[in-house]
Amino acid sequence: MVSQSETDLANLRLQDVIWIDLFAPEGDEKRSVEKFLGVEIQSRATAEEIESSSRFKETDNAIFANTNFLMPGPEEYSMEAVSFTLVEGVLTTLRDVPLRSFTELQRKLMAIPRLFPNGYWVFISILDQRVDLDADMIELMSKEIAQYSKRVNQKEDINEDFLLDINQLQENTMIVRENIVDKQRLITNLTKSEKLPPELENRFNVIQQDIASLINHTNFSFERLEYLQDTVLGIINLDQNNIMKVFTFVSLLLMPPTLLASFYGMNVHLPLESWHWAWILILGFMVLLFAAVWIFFKKRKML
């Protein structure tokens, strides 16, 4: 049976329920579920805390677990806390945002209910799907990094904005890694619990292996981004140095001719000043000085 009303809980036993999904619940809804379970569901503030005692806690009759789910945005990722409560095989989830992994699993649960004998199976299926979605996001980030690397190799639009894009991708990579490590810690605690059904142990081990692989992949992606960032900074600095080199060289080329022109611009008697065509000779001297400076730097391989 599938119900969207908390009043139906009064007619049910714990053995009749597999999963209670609280999506942005009102106070009455949350209290009705707490009364049905016989335990107090953790608040959102508790779910967002980073202490180990807040991320996972086990009592005589319940398991409380909290983890973050990634929400991809146009440019940056955000994390939304989701709280899990397991009481005698009944899973209760508390969330404030719609999640694709939850929607897909609800459809699967209604289509093939025999695959989910209790809340533990639902819980591990949520984590499994979530890890798969995280892997898809990491794959997309890897493709984006490859595109950035191609742009760097082709020196295409290498500027400050491109450097900021790399920095944002680094931030997203750190968020993804933090999210995956959080799940790794959660699953490690779950595997130590005596309440965990033995038949699920292998599935949890497989998820742990997948998470370890994803962590290695995110570490590699972050190192690759650091390399790209250093390369872009080097290219930008090199371009700026080349610009300064051009300005400096032009100044040096014009310095001797300018010095000669300044002499003949003074209000004193100088040679050739009375000759009508003296300006041609002076202009020739300026060209020779210009050429001499050019040849000097050329021979010194400073150009």
Residue 148: which CATH number? 1.20.58.340
Q: Is residue 1 part of a domain?
A: no
Q: Does residue 144 lie in a domain region? A: yes
Which pLDDT score, from 0 to 100, does residue 214 have? Answer: 92
> Considering the entire predicted model, what is its pTM?
0.73
Pair (108, 225) in one structural domain: yes
Question: 248-259: string of b/e by CB count within 10 Å (b at 16+)?
Answer: eeeeebeebbee
CB within 8 Å of 84: residues ≥ 6 apart: 63, 64, 65, 66, 67, 91, 92, 93, 94, 123
Q: Let me know if residue 168 belongs to a domain.
A: yes
Nearest CA to 35 out of 60, 7, 72, 59 is that of 7
Task: Say whether both 110 and 126 belong to one domain.
Answer: yes
Q: Which domain holds residue 271?
A: 241-299
Query: Looking at the structure, do residues 165 and 30 belong to the same domain, yes or no?
Result: yes
Q: What angle do CA 81, 85, 89 make, to 5 degrees?
A: 145
> Same domain for 164 and 60?
yes
| Residue 77 shares a structural domain with residue 224 | yes
Domain boundary among 238, 255, 276: 238
**Is residue 257 domain-shared with residue 284, that is, in the same domain?**
yes
Do 109 and 257 reside in the same domain of the chain?
A: no
Assess whether 250 and 232 both reside in one domain.
no
Q: 102 lies in a domain?
A: yes
Alpha helices by DSSP H, 5-83 = 27-37, 44-47, 52-55
Residue 231 lies in a domain: yes
Indicate the number of domains in the chain: 2
Q: Are residues 220 and 280 in the same domain?
A: no
Domain shared by 172 and 205, yes or no: yes
**Closest listed residue to residue 82, CA positions, set 70, 165, 72:** 70
Same-domain check for residues 163 and 288: no
Single residue among 206, 238, 270 that ends a domain in this structure? 238
- Both 195 and 268 in a single domain? no
Q: Is residue 158 part of a domain?
A: yes
Please give the chain's pLDDT, 303 residues, in tens. 465 666 667 677 778 888 988 888 888 888 888 888 888 887 766 666 655 555 788 888 889 988 888 887 766 778 888 889 999 889 999 988 888 888 888 888 888 888 888 889 999 999 998 898 889 888 988 898 888 888 888 777 777 788 888 888 888 888 888 889 888 888 888 888 888 888 888 888 899 999 999 999 999 988 888 888 888 888 878 777 877 877 777 777 777 777 666 766 666 565 666 666 666 776 777 777 777 777 777 777 665
